[in-house]
Amino acid sequence: MNLIAAQEIKRRGIGAVDEALAKGPVHVVRNNRPRYVVLSAQEYEAMLMDIAEARLASSEADLLANRITRGTAADIMTALRKDS
């Protein structure tokens, strides 16, 4: 895990984060606990794409398995209330 103390950022500025980012995502530690994660813009975009692809794959699997409910949002909510 790539850690940097919040105090180090306060002392050295964003350069400390830039330096740590060269090794991958940075976990910022505050009061001896990881509080934040800093990613490069490229890593962030890649993460979003991975999430989007996983959601699409899941939706496609639901469609192929005929687990799709059709209707308006109100119809679906009414059906869900009846089932619970």
Those residues with Cβ within 8 angstroms of residue 20's Cβ, 6 or more apart along the chain or in another chain: 2, 4, 26, 38
pLDDT the model gives residue 76? 86
Could you list the residue range(s) of the whole structural domain that residue 52 is in?
42-83
Collapsing DSSP to helix, strand or coil, 30 comes out as: strand
pTM, two decimals, is 0.67
33 and 50 fall within a common domain: no
Residue at token pair 């813009």: 41
18-67 pLDDT tens trace: 999 999 999 999 999 999 999 999 999 999 999 999 999 999 999 899 88
Question: Among residues 1, 70, 71, which one has the least CA distance to residue 38?
Answer: 1
Same domain, 33 and 51: no
Q: Does 53 share its domain with 69?
A: yes
Domain check: are 21 and 48 in the same one? no
When divided into structural domains, the chain yields a total of 2
On whether both 47 and 75 belong to a single domain, the answer is yes
Same domain assignment for residues 47 and 19 = no
CA dihedral 7, 12, 14, 19 (to 10 degrees): -100
| Residues 47, 68 share a domain | yes
Q: 79 pLDDT band (50/70/90 cuts)? A: confident
